[in-house]
Chains A and B, each alone.
Chain A
Amino acid sequence: MADTVRWTGSTSPQRTARPQSQQSGTDLADILERVLDKGIVIAGDIQVNLLDVELLTIKIRLVVASVDRAKEMGIDWWERDPTLSAGRGDLEDENARLRERIERLEAAASGDGQGPDTAELPEGRDDVSRTRPEREREPAARAERRPDDRSEPEPEDGFEPEDEFEEQQPESEDGLGEQVEPDEQAEPGEQAEPGEQAETEDAPESEDGTDPEAEETGRSGDDEDTDERPRRQRSARPKRRR
Chain B
Amino acid sequence: MADDPTYVYAAGEGDPPELPGGLTGVADRPLRVIEAHGMWAAVSTVPSTDFTQDALQERLEDLAWLATTARAHHDVVDELGRWTTPAPMALATVYLDDDRVRAMLDERGTELAGIVRRFRGHTEWGVKAYVAPQATREPEPAGRAASGADYLRRRRAARDRATDADSVAHDAAERLHEAAATHAADTRRHRLHAPALTGRSDRMVLNGAYLVPAGDEDRWRAAVDDGGDGGLTVEITGPWVPYSFVAVPAQPAEEGR
Contact = CB atoms under 8 A, between A and B. Distances in A.
- The secondary-structure label for the interface of chain A is helix
A160 B228 contact: no
B25 to A, nearest CB: 12
A165 B152 CA distance: 9
Q: How large is the interface on B (under 10, 10 to 19, 20 to 34, 35 or more residues)?
A: 35 or more
Contacts, number: 235
B63 interface: yes
Nearest to A3: B231
Interface string A212-231: 00000000000000000001
A40 B199 contact: no
B253 to A, nearest CB: 9
B30 interface: no
Interface string A62-76: 111110110011000
B150 to A, nearest CB: 9
A103 to B, nearest CB: 15
Interface stretch (A114-122, A129-137, A147-155): A147-155
Given A28-B67, A150-B203, A46 B61 contact: no
B94 A44 contact: yes
B159 A7 contact: no
A31 B73 CA distance: 9
Interface of B: 5, 8, 11, 51-54, 56-57, 60-63, 66-67, 70-71, 73-75, 77-79, 82, 87-96, 100, 103-104, 107-108, 112, 115, 126, 133-134, 137, 140, 144-145, 147-148, 151-152, 155-156, 158-159, 162-163, 166, 190, 193-201, 203, 225-226, 228-240, 243-244, 246-247
25 contacts: A5-B233, A11-B235, A14-B236, A19-B240, A20-B78, A25-B197, A29-B198, A34-B243, A38-B244, A39-B246, A40-B87, A40-B93, A40-B246, A42-B89, A44-B95, A58-B61, A60-B197, A63-B63, A73-B195, A90-B145, A91-B151, A146-B195, A150-B162, A235-B54, A239-B53
